[in-house]
Amino acid sequence: MAAATSRYVELAKQLHPRLQRFFAKYPPTQILPKTTAENTIKDGATANPFLPHKHPVTGRWQDPEFSLRRQAELVKLARSAGVEELMPFTHKGTEERIRKRVEEGLQVKGTGVGQKVKGHLHERMLATKMEKRRTAMLGMPRLVREWRKTGTRGWKKFPR
């Protein structure tokens, strides 16, 4: 047991100093993973430093401990060290980002799951236009034959 603990300590010492400081201040076990959902601290629990929370006494909203930029930096460091699951919930986390990407797609409207890009009118009508052209070309030999038979003098069917 002690050996395992000391090995973990050794491993922790190899982390980036910023991560070391972060984990020293916010040990993973002490942060309630979903304090965050209610955003109110109860019974002296440590608030998620990555999310805003309501002060239990004043009821005022407190800003997160870390700005979104610093959250992203920490997440990147943690990911490269392979300890991202020890971080508290953050909107900059990989899972959250993937989830959002699946939900919303790219920033371009319509690229998410089950969505369609609207496109310009000419793009939406492209299939119809090509189909019309195709049927016209299929009927062309017959039309030309008819036209040859009637001749230009007797021809009555002119397009609008």
Partner 1 sequence: MAKKPKARMINVRLLSMAMTGFFYSFTRPRVARPMSMLKYDPIVRKKVLFLEQKRKGK
Helix (H, G, I), strand (E, B) or coil at 141: helix
Handedness of CA 11, 15, 17, 22 (dihedral sign): negative
CB of 123 to partner 1, least distance (A): 17
CB of 150 to partner 1, least distance (A): 10
Amino acid code (one letter) for 125: M
Cβ distance 75 to 92 under 8 Å?
yes
CA gyration radius, the chain: 32
Is the Cβ of residue 61 or residue 147 nearer to partner 1 in the bound state?
147
Which DSSP category does 51 fall into? S
CB of 82 to partner 1, least distance (A): 58
Site string for partner 1, 124-153 (x = CB under 8 A): --------xx--xx--x--xx--x----xx
Is the Cβ of residue 116 or residue 142 nearer to partner 1 in the bound state?
142
Cβ distance 52 to 40 under 8 Å?
no
Q: Which residues from 42-71 bind partner 1, rule CB under 8 A?
A: none
Cβ distance 28 to 86 under 8 Å?
yes
Size of the site for partner 1 (CB under 8 A): 15
Is the Cβ of residue 13 or residue 142 nearer to partner 1 in the bound state?
142
Contact residues for 88 (Cβ-Cβ < 8 A; gap 6+): 26, 28, 31, 33, 36, 48, 49, 50
Is the Cβ of residue 38 or residue 146 nearer to partner 1 in the bound state?
146
Residues lying near partner 1 in the complex (CB under 8 A):
132-133, 136-137, 140, 143-144, 147, 152-153, 155, 157-160
